[in-house]
Chain A
Amino acid sequence: MNRHTGSWVAIGLLAVAPLVGLAWAIWAGAGGADGAFALATLGERLRRPAPWISLAWSTIAALVATALATMGAITIALAFRGTRAADRAARALATLPLPIPPIVVAAAAVLVLSQSGLLARLAATAGWISVPAEMPALLNVPHGTGLILALAWKELGFLSLLACTVVAGLDPELEATARTLGASARTARRRVLVPMIWRGIFPGVVAAFAFVLGSYELPALLGPTHPQPLAVAVLERARDADLAARGDAWAATLLLFAAAIAAVGWHEWSRSRA
C-alpha cells in the first residue's frame, strides 16, 4: 500500500459530494432531467444575460459586505485587545452574530431595518418622520444597503473572532520595536499590526466571502426584486411551473460552482504566498 493512500482517500471523501452536485448541475442544466441531454442546451442557457447579471450583483454585494466586516473586525481587534471588562464585552458582542443562523439574522433585519421597522419607529418617536415612506428604504432595493449591512454583521462574528485571536497571538515586542525605531503609535498600527492581522485572517476572509455569496436566506428576504441575487434566481427557476425554466436553474447553479471554485483558488493562492 502506498503511503499516500490515506491522503487520496481523504481527498476523495471531501470532493465526492461537490462533484456529485457539479455532475447533476451539468447534466440537468443540459436538459438531462427532461430527457433531452445536449451540451448545446447548456451553452445556450449560459449565453443568456440574466444569470450573469445576478452573479455580478451578488458578487459586488458579497465583496462590499466582506470588506465592511473585515475593516470592522480589524478595528475591533485592535481597539479592544486589553483585558478590562470593556475589552472583553466588546469582543463578545462582536462575535455574537457568528452562531446566529442566517434565517434568524434575516428575520431580525426585516423587523429592524424595514421602512416600518424598529429603526423607523424610533425615528417616528423622535419626531423625525411621520409615515414609513419618509424612512429611507434599505430593504429590497437595487443598491442592497440593508442586505449588505446584514451580511456584514453576520460575517463580523466570524472575522472578529479570527482577528482577535491573531492579535492575542502577536508578539508584543513587535509594536514596541516599531515605536523604538521612531514610528508613531498610528504608524506602528498601520504599517506593522494591520498587515500582520490581515495576513492572519485573509483565508478566513475568503471563506466568509464564499459563504455570503452562496447564501440564500438573507438575499431572499432582504434582496432586491430586480436584479435578482443569484441564489434567489436559482431557487425561483428551480420551482418554476415551466420545466424548461427549471433547467435554467441548474445552469445558473454552475455559476455558483464556478464562483466557489474561484474562491478555492484564491484561498490556495493566498496560502501559498503566506
Chain B
Amino acid sequence: MRSSLIALCAVTVAACGGGTPAPRAADVAALPWDSVEALARGTTVTWRMWRGDPSINRYVDDWITPRLAACCGVTLRTAEGQGPDILQQLRLETAAGAAGTTDLAWINGETFAALQRDSLLGGPWAHRLPSAQSLDSASAIIMRDFERPTEGFEMPWGRVQFALVYDSLRTPSPPRSVSALAEWIRAHPGRFTHDQGFTGTTFLKVVLYALNGGVGTFQGGFDAATWDRTAPRLFTWLEALVPSFWREGRAYPQSVADLDRLFANGEVDFAMGNNHLGVATKVRRGTYPASARVLMLDDGMIANTHYLGIPSNATNPAGAMVVANFLLSPAAQYEKQRVEVWADGTVLDINKLDTEWQARFAALAADPLGFPDSVAARLAVPEVAAEWHDRVVSEWRRRIRGRAGE
C-alpha cells in the first residue's frame, strides 16, 4: 500500500508538473485500480486504429465512445494508423523527443515484435486490468502474439481465423485441402489469386505449413536452416502454379479489398479474409453475393489475435488502461462479436463469466452461414514468430512478383 501511495504521488506530480515527462504505463499499472480510474476521469484518450471499416467505426463511435464517457468520464478520440504507420510514427516521435500523440494502439504480430525490439511499448500493464480476470489465459493463440509472450505489454482484444471464401452457386464442391486447391487451380486457369497484403501472406503461410509437415516445423522461433530447407517447397509450388493464376500471375490485387471486388464480380472464384465470421457481415453489406460461403482447408487455417498496446511515450496511460479495461468487458466483447456489428471473436473464456453472459455468448456462437464453430476450432493453427511472416513477404516479392512479365 505504501509503495502504491508513493507511486501515486510520483504519477500525479508527473501528470501535473509542467515540462516533466508523462507518467509511464508501468508506474500507473502499479496503482490500485480505483486510483487509475480517478486519474483517467476527465481526460482524453487518443486511440490509433485502422479506420477503414464503417461497421467497426460505428461500433467504436456510436457504442463504445458514449458508454466510456458515461461510465468513466473518458473522452475517446480516434486516429488513423495501422501497423507500419504506428511503428514509423513512434520511431520518429522518439527520435525527435516529441510528446506522444498516441495513448492506445491497435496492433499485432510483426508490429508488436518491432515495437518491442525498439522498446516503444509501455508496460507491463495488461495483467492489472480487472477485466483481464476473464481472459482465455489458457489459449496460446490469445496469450502469445506470433509466439511472443505478451507479458502484459499488450492486451488481447479480438480473435479471428483465416478463411477462404467461395460462391456456392459457382463452385458447388470446392477443394478442401491445399493439394486439392492446387489441382483445382490447374483445372481452372485464371480463376484464383491472392492479394499482396497481410491476408495474402497469411494464405502463403498456410501453404508453407501444409507443404512442410504442419506448423510444428516452424514453432519455437525463427531458424535460418529450417527456412532454407522449407521455403523452396513453397516457392517451387508457387512457380509451378502461378501461370494458372489470375492474369497468369503477372498481377496481384493490391489489397484484400481489391480481391473482394474481383470475387464479387466473378473475375475469380475465391476470396480470402482474416476473419471467417466477417464473411456473413460482407454478405449482409452486399460486398459479396448471398451465395458466398466460408471455406477452411483441412491442412489447418491460421488463427490470430489482435491486441491493444500503450506506447512508451503515451501522455495518458491511465486513460488508455481504463479504455482497454472497458473494451475487454463482457458487454463490449459481446457487442463486438455480433454479426450485425463486427463479428470479431471474443478473447474471453466464456466459462469464467457469470451464467447470464455465458448464455448470451452461447446464443451468438452459431455461424449464420452454417460454418460449424467446432470445425473452425479443430482447424485452428497458431501464428509463429513474426520473422517467418517477414521472410515470406520479402521472398515472395523477390521470386514471384519480381519475375512477373519476364
Interface of A is mostly: loop
**A225-B196, A225-B252 known; A241 and B393 CB under 8 Å?**
yes
Question: Hey, which chain B residues are within 8 Å of A238, CB to CB?
Answer: 84, 88
For A75-97 the 0/1 string (1 means CB < 8 A from B) is 00000000000000000000000
Task: Tell me whether B265 and A241 are in contact (CB under 8 A).
Answer: no
For B64-87 the 0/1 string (1 means CB < 8 A from A) is 000000000000000000001100
Task: Tell me whether A239 and B84 are in contact (CB under 8 A).
Answer: yes
Task: Tell me whether A226 and B401 are in contact (CB under 8 A).
Answer: yes
CA distance A239 to B262 in the complex (A): 25
For window 78-105 of B, CB contacts with A under 8 Å fall at 84-85, 88, 91, 95
For residue B380, give the distance in angstroms from its CB to the closest CB of chain A. Answer: 24
Option from A220, A226, A240 in Cβ contact (under 8 Å) with B250:
A226
Query: Does B404 sit within 8 A of A, measured CB to CB?
Result: yes
For window 389-406 of B, CB contacts with A under 8 Å fall at 389-390, 393-394, 401-402, 404-405
Q: Kindly report which residue of chain B lies nearest to residue A227, judged by CB atoms.
A: B405
Contact sample, A vs B, 16 pairs, CB 8 Å cutoff: A33-B91, A110-B261, A132-B265, A132-B266, A132-B267, A141-B251, A142-B404, A221-B254, A224-B251, A225-B404, A226-B404, A226-B405, A227-B405, A238-B84, A240-B84, A241-B110
Option from A132, A225, A242, A245 in Cβ contact (under 8 Å) with B251:
A225
Task: Tell me whether B267 and A241 are in contact (CB under 8 A).
Answer: no
For residue A156, give the distance in angstroms from its CB to the closest CB of chain B. Answer: 26
For B351-368 the 0/1 string (1 means CB < 8 A from A) is 000000000000000000
Q: Kindly report which residue of chain A lies nearest to residue B401, judged by CB atoms.
A: A226
Question: Hey, which chain B residues are within 8 Å of A114, CB to CB?
Answer: 261
Task: Tell me whether A33 and B95 are in contact (CB under 8 A).
Answer: yes
For residue A224, give the distance in angstroms from its CB to the closest CB of chain B. Answer: 6
Question: Hey, which chain A residues are within 8 Å of B285, CB to CB?
Answer: none
CA distance A186 to B144 in the complex (A): 76
For residue B32, give the distance in angstroms from its CB to the closest CB of chain A. Answer: 39
Option from A115, A132, A227, A239 in Cβ contact (under 8 Å) with B85:
A239
CA distance A25 to B254 in the complex (A): 26
Query: Does B114 sit within 8 A of A, measured CB to CB?
Result: yes
For window 209-239 of A, CB contacts with B under 8 Å fall at 220-221, 224-227, 238-239
Task: Tell me whether B84 and A241 are in contact (CB under 8 A).
Answer: yes
Question: Hey, which chain A residues are within 8 Å of B95, CB to CB?
Answer: 33
Question: Hey, which chain B residues are within 8 Å of A225, CB to CB?
Answer: 196, 250-252, 254, 401, 404
Query: Does A131 sit within 8 A of B, measured CB to CB?
Result: yes
Query: Does A133 sit within 8 A of B, measured CB to CB?
Result: yes
**A132-B266, A132-B267, A226-B401 known; A241 and B390 CB under 8 Å?**
yes
Question: Hey, which chain B residues are within 8 Å of A116, CB to CB?
Answer: 261-262, 265-267
CA distance A226 to B397 in the complex (A): 10
Query: Does A263 sit within 8 A of B, measured CB to CB?
Result: no
CA distance A141 to B190 in the complex (A): 15
When A and B form their complex, which 9 residue pairs have the shortest distance between CB atoms, in order from nearest?
A116-B265, A239-B84, A226-B404, A225-B251, A140-B251, A241-B390, A132-B267, A241-B110, A142-B405
Query: Does B247 sit within 8 A of A, measured CB to CB?
Result: yes
Given known contacts A116-B261, A224-B405, A225-B252, what 6 new A-B pairs fall within 8 Å (CB)? Answer: A110-B261, A115-B267, A132-B265, A132-B267, A226-B401, A226-B402
Question: Hey, which chain A residues are within 8 Å of B254, CB to CB?
Answer: 140, 220-221, 225
Q: Kindly report which residue of chain B lies nearest to residue A141, judged by CB atoms.
A: B251
Chain B contact patch, size range: 20 to 34
Task: Tell me whether B250 and A133 are in contact (CB under 8 A).
Answer: no
Give the most central of A110, A114, A116, A226: most B CB within 10 Å. Answer: A226
Question: Hey, which chain A residues are within 8 Å of B196, CB to CB?
Answer: 225
Query: Does A196 sit within 8 A of B, measured CB to CB?
Result: no
Question: Hey, which chain A residues are within 8 Å of B265, CB to CB?
Answer: 116, 132
Query: Does A137 sit within 8 A of B, measured CB to CB?
Result: yes
CA distance A240 to B266 in the complex (A): 32
Question: Hey, which chain A residues are within 8 Å of B389, CB to CB?
Answer: 241
Give the most central of A220, A221, A225, A241: most B CB within 10 Å. Answer: A241
Question: Hey, which chain A residues are within 8 Å of B88, CB to CB?
Answer: 238-239, 246
Task: Tell me whether A131 and B266 are in contact (CB under 8 A).
Answer: yes
CA distance A141 to B405 in the complex (A): 10
Task: Tell me whether A133 and B267 are in contact (CB under 8 A).
Answer: yes
For residue B397, give the distance in angstroms from its CB to the closest CB of chain A. Answer: 9
CA distance A264 to B389 in the complex (A): 43
Task: Tell me whether B393 and A133 are in contact (CB under 8 A).
Answer: no
For A9-53 the 0/1 string (1 means CB < 8 A from B) is 000000000000000000000000100000000000000000000
Option from B114, B250, B401, B404 in Cβ contact (under 8 Å) with A241:
B114
**A226-B401, A226-B404, A238-B88 known; A142 and B250 CB under 8 Å?**
yes
Q: Kindly report which residue of chain B lies nearest to residue A132, judged by CB atoms.
A: B267
For residue B396, give the distance in angstroms from its CB to the closest CB of chain A. Answer: 12
Question: Hey, which chain A residues are within 8 Å of B250, CB to CB?
Answer: 142, 225-226
CA distance A142 to B247 in the complex (A): 11
CA distance A114 to B251 in the complex (A): 13
For residue A121, give the distance in angstroms from its CB to the closest CB of chain B. Answer: 9
Option from B91, B190, B390, B405 in Cβ contact (under 8 Å) with A242:
B390
For residue A255, give the distance in angstroms from its CB to the closest CB of chain B. Answer: 19
